[in-house]
């Protein structure tokens, strides 16, 4: 499902469950493909989370499963659906901003390839020569090969980054894009941790579920290590401080909240704050990445113009030397 479709799905489910509708009666009002699998699982006597794992695994991520399980166990399923609706709405807006930011540089890149070749094509047509589109088609093919290869490589690295701490840490160092990944990962971690705390789960379970739902290999590994330390008797903040992966300011905030007994409120605050930071990071990337694209296009067009001028004046000089 698309992000906008998931946002709509969870928004409608939050309203229906909050209005005390039975979940199986809510199905006709929402996305059929996703909910038919849920209905099948409920008919088999399974819980909501288990039904989704069994019949809707293709459409349901670890973040959704973690929040829904926490909401189901705490009796606050409507809140879980509301959290997911807000998350997917924010993520959908971020993706739309990113696509809008790269669209204009892509158009300029194509124009930068085609326009420098137009004078030569016009002259060849006027002189009755055979038109050769090789100078246009070859650069366009190279451009699309680079774009497709970059997209496939980034998708592969992003997926590997959800499991590998090393890859995730390197991706987090990429200017502009790395900040978006880090803020979204911490927002997901804090959101799931808060939901698990509300559901009165064990701290080790909260830590492991939040790490898995963060979609960050670095936070996943740090959460697993921290969970082992918590099981050995360390405090939550102390366990976070002893492992590599959690931001220092986040650890300090957790330590203060743990002492004050307001850890659930602190995690909820961090989830909201990191979502805002992630959106701000997307806007910064949307402002600067097109400028990088413009710079590359300008350099390429300048190179093509200088090459054409060099070839033109070079031919004139050879004719003058022949005279």
Q: Model confidence over 266-293: pLDDT tens digits? A: 998 998 898 888 888 888 877 777 777 7
Q: Which residue has the tokens 């030569």?
A: 120
Q: What is the mean pLDDT of the chain?
A: 79
Tens of pLDDT, residue by residue over 284-322, are 877 777 777 777 777 777 776 676 666 555 555 555 555
Q: Tell me what percent of the residues of the chain surpass a pLDDT of 70.
A: 78
263 CB-near residues (< 8 Å, 6+ apart) = 197, 236, 254, 257
| Confidence band of 72 (pLDDT split at 50, 70, 90) | confident
Distance CA(176)–CA(287), nearest Å, equals 10
Could you say which DSSP state residue 117 is in? G
> Quick one: pLDDT at residue 180?
87
The radius of gyration of the chain from alpha carbons, rounded to an integer in Å, stands at: 27
| Portion of the chain with pLDDT greater than 90, in percent | 25
CB 1 within 8 A of CB 34: yes
Average pLDDT over residues 74-100: 78
More confident position, 244 or 11: 244
Please report the pLDDT score of residue 59 as a whole number.
72
Can you tell me the mean pLDDT for 109-136? 69
Residue 112 confidence (pLDDT): 73
Mean pLDDT, rounded, for 31-54: 76
Cβ neighbours of residue 239 closer than 8 Å, sequence gap 6 or more: 207, 225, 226, 227, 229, 230
Query: 306: Cβ–Cβ under 8 A, 6 or more apart, which residues?
Result: none
Please answer whether residues 315 and 127 qualify as being in contact, where contact means their C-beta atoms are separated by less than 8 angstroms.
no
Cα separation, 273 vs 104, whole angstroms: 31
What is the value of pTM for the model shown? 0.75
Residue 97 pLDDT greater than 60, yes or no? yes
| Best CA proximity match to 282, nearest among 87, 96, 7, 148 | 96
Give the per-residue pLDDT at 204.
93
Instruction: Please check the confidence at residue 127 and state whether its pLDDT lies above 70.
Output: no
Using pLDDT thresholds of 50, 70 and 90, give the confidence band for residue 102.
confident
Is residue 162 within 8 A of residue 168, CB to CB? The reply is yes
pLDDT number for residue 288: 79
> Which position has the token pair 């300011």?
249
Cα gap 93→79, rounded to integer Å: 21
Query: What is the pLDDT at residue 87?
Result: 78
The residue among 318 and 58 whose pLDDT is bigger is 58
**Contact assessment for residue 63 and residue 213, using Cβ atoms and an 8 Å cutoff:** yes
> How far is CA 47 from each of CA 68, 72, 194, rounded to the nearest angstrom?
11, 8, 21
Q: Which residue has the higher pLDDT, 62 or 308?
A: 62
Q: Select the more confidently predicted residue: 140 or 91.
A: 140
Does position 258 have pLDDT exceeding 80, yes or no?
A: yes
- E-strand spans in 199-303? none
Q: What is the mean pLDDT of residues 46-55?
A: 79
pLDDT band at 28 (very low <50, low <70, confident <90, very high): very low
The rounded distance, in Å, linking the Cα atoms of 159 and 181 is: 12
Tokens representing 252 are 């300090």
Cα dihedral across residues 219, 220, 225, 230: positive or negative: positive
Place of tokens 């405090």: 235
- What is the dihedral sign for C-alpha 56, 57, 62, 65? positive
Average pLDDT over residues 94-104: 76
At 231-254, the pLDDT tens digits run: 999 999 999 999 999 999 999 999
């Amino acid at each position: 499902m698309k992000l906008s479709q998931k946002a709509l799905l969870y928004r409608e489910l939050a309203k229906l469950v909050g209005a005390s509708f039975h979940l199986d009666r809510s199905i006709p009002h929402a996305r059929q493909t996703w909910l038919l699998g849920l209905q099948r699982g409920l008919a088999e006597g399974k819980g909501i989370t288990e039904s989704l794992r069994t019949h809707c695994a293709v459409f349901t991520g670890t973040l959704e499963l973690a929040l829904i399980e926490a909401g189901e166990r705490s009796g606050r399923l409507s809140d879980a659906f509301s959290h997911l609706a807000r998350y997917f709405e924010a993520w959908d807006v971020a993706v739309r901003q990113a696509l809008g930011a790269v669209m204009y540089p892509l158009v300029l890149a194509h124009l930068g390839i085609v326009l420098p070749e137009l004078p030569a094509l016009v002259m060849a047509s006027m002189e009755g020569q055979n038109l050769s589109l090789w100078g246009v088609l070859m650069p366009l093919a190279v451009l699309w090969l680079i774009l497709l290869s970059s997209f496939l490589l980034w998708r592969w690295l992003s997926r590997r980054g959800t499991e590998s701490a090393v890859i995730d840490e390197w991706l987090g160092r990429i200017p502009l894009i790395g900040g978006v990944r880090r803020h979204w990962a911490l927002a997901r971690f804090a959101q799931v941790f808060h939901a698990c705390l509300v559901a009165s789960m064990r701290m080790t379970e909260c830590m492991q579920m939040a790490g898995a739902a963060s979609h960050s290999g670095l936070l996943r590994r740090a959460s697993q290590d921290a969970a082992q330390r918590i099981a050995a008797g360390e405090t939550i903040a102390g366990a976070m401080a002893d492992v590599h992966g959690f931001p220092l300011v986040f650890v300090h905030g957790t330590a203060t909240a743990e002492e004050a007994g307001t850890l659930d409120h602190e995690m909820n605050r961090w989830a909201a704050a990191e979502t805002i930071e992630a959106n701000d990071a997307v806007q910064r990337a949307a402002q600067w990445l097109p400028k990088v694209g413009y710079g590359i296009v300008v350099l390429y067009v300048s190179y093509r113009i200088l090459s054409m001028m060099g070839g033109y004046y070079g031919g004139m000089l050879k004719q003058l030397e022949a005279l």
